[in-house]
Amino acid sequence: MDKIRVDAGVKKILINDGPEFIEFNPGDIGFAERFYGLVKDFDSRRVKYLERSTEIEANKELDDSGLPANVPEGLQLVREVCERMREQIDVVFGGGTSQKVFGDALSLDMFEQFFAGITPFIETARNKKIAKYIKPNAKSKKRVAMK
């Protein structure tokens, strides 16, 4: 029987030296749409998050224990941001990705590390896709020169 082999461009990346890994196809248009949707979603929410954070930090009151009274609100905001990011990462990279990558932890720093690590793979794949449409090849240069 004849065979065909298709390189779908799936990247497998170990998480913290394994054994867990994530896989995604940075060249797939569906993945790209979901990824850039996540970025757009976060950018649109960032202003609201910053406004809420500023309001929370403006409260300088102390509770009965002498601790800042705004701590519970601040923690709730961080939880909300983290849970939203986990949801969106699972939408983009597949269900269970956040659990594989972050475990049960909720930390804004982890998301920054994740995106700093994953973005170069996405940018490289997208640049390769775009380059073939904007970079003239040798044949098209010869055709232009012959005219």
Over the stretch 82-99, which tens digit does the pLDDT of each residue have? Answer: 999 999 999 999 999 999
How confident is the model at residue 48, as a pLDDT? Answer: 95
Cis peptide bond N-terminal to 68, omega within 30:
no
What digits encode the pLDDT tens for the residues 21-43? 999 999 888 998 999 999 999 99
Average model confidence (pLDDT) across the chain: 89
Spatial distance between the Cα atoms of 88 and 108, rounded to a whole number of angstroms: 14
132 or 72, which is more confident?
72
Residues 70, 53: contact at Cβ < 8 Å? no
Spatial neighbors of 136 by CB under 8 A, at least 6 apart, are: 144
- Tens-digit pLDDT profile for residues 111-123: 999 999 999 988 8
Instruction: Tell whether pTM > 0.85.
Output: no
Tell me phi and psi for residue 132, to 5 degrees: -70, -15
